[in-house]
Amino acid sequence: MEASTAMWTVAVVGAAVVYWFVWVMGAAEVKGKRAVNLKMGSITRDKVQDKYKQYWSFFLRNKEDISAASDDDKVPAFVDTFYNLVTDIYEWGWGQSFHFSPSLRGRSHRDATRLHEERAADLIAARPGHRVVDVGCGVGGPMRAIAAHSGANVVGITINEYQVARARAHNRKAGLDGLCEVVCGNFLEMPFPDSSFDGAYAIEATCHAPRLEDVYREVFRVLKPGALFVSYEWVTTPLYQASNPRHVETIRGIERGNALPGLRAQHDVAAVARQVGFEVADELDLALPPAEPWWIRLKMGRIAYWRNHLLVSLLTALRIAPKGVVEVHEMLYETARHLSDGGETGIFTPMHMILCRKPATN
């Protein structure tokens, strides 16, 4: 009798733990995904593990090989694979805005994220009647914040079809599908006419371009004369030392875990903008003081890691999540460690802001 009672107690407690992990813990900050809904984008369940291995083997190569591969469009294809692998995990644990923001004393992360996005809208003077392009829109968190804040019509472009579907669903749910439009495409070859936008912004997206000048040239092309473009860039800072093995491993770790063909140096960004014809109106690292450290949110600690690891392992064992989710989760945890190291040492910033203007006559 006592043994039977103990077994029932264990079963009830176990069921409660599973319920807590699966249904309560880990919903996205702005309700997007729950743990039980983790997929791998448009990759079929039986191909997830293989696609992860292909991705990882590609980005483990040295920078020169990755750069050479970009000539035959392999980098965009692997960026697409990356976002199939990580989009649901990002939404589950990060929310609908796949970017960092300066921490603000006394304000929640959600508030800091919104203000960071609204800053982009203000910098390009977006307003009702304007048509603005979001270069690399993800699932559209920034798009919705900017459209709601400015009243402008925002057209987002992402290379990943799964993100297009997610963004459109979120737009409808937010009641912003009248202001927000999403198209699937490569921002290196945007399917928009010349001089068709009143403004443009990119929030931590152009780092995926093998050559920054290619995406900046496309943005220049689609902007109307006199229009503004703001980008928050991932770059190495002047503190980065290529002769320091720890620095090199940190930056390579960031690149491998984020599908980046190679991080640019901070001082190169403005030169690229001018090269394609832009006037540079302002340039600033938004991660510097008085902003609070942006990387604090990445320091989840080992307890949080093992909690999440246990959850994704359980979901995989129960065949709720496909094989490969555990490996992707481990990759993202390791990447978070490199990002945190980059922020603490000051050799990396994800928030180098550059504001550009297309000349009124050209």
Within-domain flag for 45 = yes
Query: For the purposes of burial, counting CB atoms within 10 Å of the CB of 163, is it exposed (0-12), middle (13-18) or buried (19 or more)?
Result: buried
Q: Are residues 353 and 230 in contact, defined by beta-carbon separation less than 8 angstroms?
A: yes
Of residues 357 and 315, the one with the higher pLDDT is 357
Domain extent at residue 267? 28-362
* pLDDT for the residue numbered 15: 52
Within-domain flag for 13 = no
Cis omega (within 30 of 0) for bond into 290: yes
Within-domain flag for 342 = yes
Q: What is the dihedral of CA 186, 187, 189, 191, to 10 degrees?
A: 90
Of residues 70 and 18, the one with the higher pLDDT is 70
Within-domain flag for 221 = yes
- Is the confidence at residue 69, as pLDDT, over 70? no
Degrees to nearest 5, angle at CA 24 with 21 and 26: 75
Of residues 73 and 308, the one with the higher pLDDT is 308
State the pLDDT confidence band at 321, using cuts at 50, 70 and 90. confident
- Is the confidence at residue 291, as pLDDT, over 60? yes
Q: Count H helices, E strands: the chain?
A: 12, 8
What CATH number does the domain containing 331 carry?
A: 3.40.50.150
* pLDDT for the residue numbered 48: 92
Six-digit token pair at 307?
């909690």
Pairwise CA distance, residues 259 & 255, whole Å = 6
Within-domain flag for 7 = no
State the pLDDT confidence band at 30, using cuts at 50, 70 and 90. very low
Q: Are residues 164 and 143 in contact, defined by beta-carbon separation less than 8 angstroms?
A: no
Instruction: Output b/e per residue, 185-196; b: 16+ Cβ within 10 A.
Output: ebbbebebeeee
Amino acid at site 272: V
Of residues 195 and 321, the one with the higher pLDDT is 195
Of residues 30 and 110, the one with the higher pLDDT is 110
Pairwise CA distance, residues 137 & 205, whole Å = 8
Six-digit token pair at 212?
């920054």
* pLDDT for the residue numbered 29: 42
- Is the confidence at residue 60, as pLDDT, over 90? no
Q: What is the mean pLDDT of residues 127-152?
A: 97
* pLDDT for the residue numbered 276: 98
- Is the confidence at residue 303, as pLDDT, over 90? no
Of residues 321 and 277, the one with the higher pLDDT is 277
Within-domain flag for 60 = yes
* pLDDT for the residue numbered 281: 98
* pLDDT for the residue numbered 2: 56
pTM to 2 decimal places: 0.89
Q: What is the mean pLDDT of residues 225-248?
A: 97
State the pLDDT confidence band at 75, using cuts at 50, 70 and 90. confident
Domain count, the chain: 1
| DSSP-derived 3-state class of residue 121 | helix
Kindly report which listed range (16-25, 39-48, 316-325) carries the lowest average pLDDT score: 16-25
Within-domain flag for 270 = yes
Give how far Cα 239 sits from Cα of 71, 244, 270, Å. Answer: 31, 11, 18
* pLDDT for the residue numbered 208: 95
What are the tens digits of pLDDT across the range 117-127? 999 999 999 99
Q: Are residues 228 and 258 in contact, defined by beta-carbon separation less than 8 angstroms?
A: no
Within-domain flag for 253 = yes
| DSSP-derived 3-state class of residue 100 | coil
Six-digit token pair at 306?
């093992």
| DSSP-derived 3-state class of residue 293 | coil
Q: Are residues 155 and 134 in contact, defined by beta-carbon separation less than 8 angstroms?
A: yes
